Structure 1
Amino acid sequence: MTKPLDGRIALVTGCSRGIGRAAALALAEAGAHIVAVARTQGALEELDDAIRQAGSSATLVPLDLTDFDAIDRLGLSIHERWRKLDVVVGNAGILGNLTPLGHVTPKTWSQVMDINVTANWRLLRSMDPLLRMSDAGRAIFVTSGASQKCKAYWGPYSVSKAALDALVRTYAAETETTAIKAMLLNPGPLRTSMRKAAMPGEDETTLKTPGDLAPHFVRLASPDWDQSGKIYDFPSDRVLTPQMAA
């Protein structure tokens, strides 16, 4: 039986654990070759084993996304090997400290912006030519309800996700006449280490898991996905315009 992503190349960032790992596995099970990007070599090797067991393959890329020049080198390597890229999943992100804005250190602010915003811009900048070479390029970036809620003490994270939303919506507008579709994905509350750090007293058993979310990455990555510049909201299982998500 033909798999929906058979023969397609999918790059996934932050795939050593949590949402990224689940997304990479789901895309692999759907037939994609995974370009797996994460900082931890050991976790990447464990993912590779799981992808092989699923009957697919991966290229492991140990990479700190704040090494922006390395993102450019990765784009060049993908071009040299495959001459295209079909799917980009920008999942890597950090929470930063939950603290009043006046207490946020410049170092923390820069770290959150570098990972959550600038790295994703550099990723789009480097991979855009490759996505345009695909017959159905798909760019999927993990956002958060924090981008709209702007709760007290969540400043750096909320600001970074709002900037990410604007980045992806702008890219969607710029690729409107191409075969590329660019989507944001809001996972909502999931059983992840980031969620645990943000909500330490929460009962994890009440939350859905990254594995529950993972099939929706396959939907958004598929060549027949026809929407762009919108938000797939996992908690409501709806595609929202940014105005509806506000």
Structure 2
Amino acid sequence: MPPSDQLRLILVTGASRGIGRALTVALAAAGHHPIALARTQGALEALDDEITAAGGRVTMIPADLTDREAMARLPEALAARFGRLDGFVANAGSLGDLTPIADIQEKMWDRTMALNVTANAFLLTGLDPLLRQSAAGRVVGITSSRARKFKPFWGPYSASKAAFEAVFLTYAAETEESALRVNLVNPGPMRTAMREKAMPGEDPASLPPPAALAPLVLDLLSPEEDRHGQLVTFSA
């Protein structure tokens, strides 16, 4: 376990499953203190049990990113308990419905944008002061090639991830002269529930597991990492 002055406090959203869960476990295994945010209480409790049994530490936050009032209170709560935040992994997201543009339903569109764009943008806004309290604040946004490669029926998801990238890369440009480092990661095809929903005929065993992505993201969260404003694509 690293000395206390090297321990990193990292907030991970969508931490109860898939990529978020794998990153949370990897952070704890590396001796850091992940702060795991997700909607599903039971899945968070199981994650807590796993990390604690392995000798790690973790803080659980059962919350919905689209609950604006709860997210507005979160930075203040983190400031009162920790005083700083060394990293933020914006992982939570929704696929929405795969549908032709002509058939988009307003409710689904609003829900997808609310989680993938609006919630992440305002959470980043609230966390900015805490990240600046760290000697080496790091932000990683988990994105998708669909933000740049357009395919029939993927309109809502593609639009939301393109906007997500715009928010995070603009933030990177605004923090160029600070100690913060902000990057995007494109995991590519990965063995997740979202991928299975999008590609139901695909063999999951042919894809890398979420844990394979963890070393890359942990590198981007480290104080030594100097990349900034980049889109980093994972290669298995």
The interval holding the TM-score normalised by the smaller chain is over 0.9
| CA distance in structure 1 between the partners assigned to 2:229 and 2:103 by the alignment | 34
Aligned residue for 2:220? 220
8 Å CA contact retained: 1:16, 1:40: yes
Aligned residue for 1:71? 71
SS of equivalent to 1:156: helix
The amino acid across from 2:125 in the alignment is R
The range that moved more, 49-58 or 184-193, is 49-58
Deviation at 1:112, TM superposition (A): 0.6
Aligned residue for 1:169? 169
The amino acid across from 1:227 in the alignment is R
The amino acid across from 1:150 in the alignment is F
Deviation at 1:211, TM superposition (A): 0.9
8 Å CA contact retained: 1:144, 1:186: yes
Q: Does 1:145 align with 2:145?
A: yes
Aligned residue for 1:103? 103
1:1-246 to structure 2, matched below 5 A, reads 2=2, 6-235=6-235
CA distance change for structure 1 residues 52 and 155 in 2, over 3 Å: closer, same or farther?
same
Deviation at 1:2, TM superposition (A): 3.5
CA distance change for structure 1 residues 5 and 83 in 2, over 3 Å: closer, same or farther?
closer
8 Å CA contact retained: 1:143, 1:185: yes
Aligned residue for 1:243? none
CA distance change for structure 1 residues 197 and 3 in 2, over 3 Å: closer, same or farther?
farther
The amino acid across from 1:220 in the alignment is L
- How many corresponding residue pairs? 236
8 Å CA contact retained: 2:11, 2:35: yes
What is the RMSD of the two structures over their aligned residues, measured on CA atoms?
1.5
Deviation at 1:129, TM superposition (A): 0.3
Could you tell me which runs of 5 or more consecutive residues in structure 1 were left unpaired when the two chains were aligned.
238-246
| CA distance in structure 2 between the partners assigned to 1:25 and 1:6 by the alignment | 18
The amino acid across from 1:111 in the alignment is R
Deviation at 1:6, TM superposition (A): 4.3
Structure 1 stretches of at least 4 aligned residues deviating more than 6 Å after TM superposition: none
| CA distance in structure 2 between the partners assigned to 1:97 and 1:88 by the alignment | 27
Deviation at 1:203, TM superposition (A): 1.2
8 Å CA contact retained: 2:2, 2:32: no
- Map Cα deviations across residues 154-205 of structure 1 (whole Å, 9 max, x no partner): 0010000001111110000111111100110100000111000000001111
| CA distance in structure 2 between the partners assigned to 1:231 and 1:61 by the alignment | 28
| CA distance in structure 1 between the partners assigned to 2:32 and 2:18 by the alignment | 19
CA distance change for structure 1 residues 132 and 76 in 2, over 3 Å: closer, same or farther?
same
SS of equivalent to 1:85: coil
Deviation at 1:3, TM superposition (A): 7.5
Could you tell me which runs of 5 or more consecutive residues in structure 2 were left unpaired when the two chains were aligned.
none
TM-score if structure 1 supplies the norm length?
A: 0.93
| CA distance in structure 1 between the partners assigned to 2:4 and 2:151 by the alignment | 39
| CA distance in structure 2 between the partners assigned to 1:31 and 1:109 by the alignment | 40
| CA distance in structure 1 between the partners assigned to 2:128 and 2:155 by the alignment | 30
| CA distance in structure 1 between the partners assigned to 2:3 and 2:105 by the alignment | 47
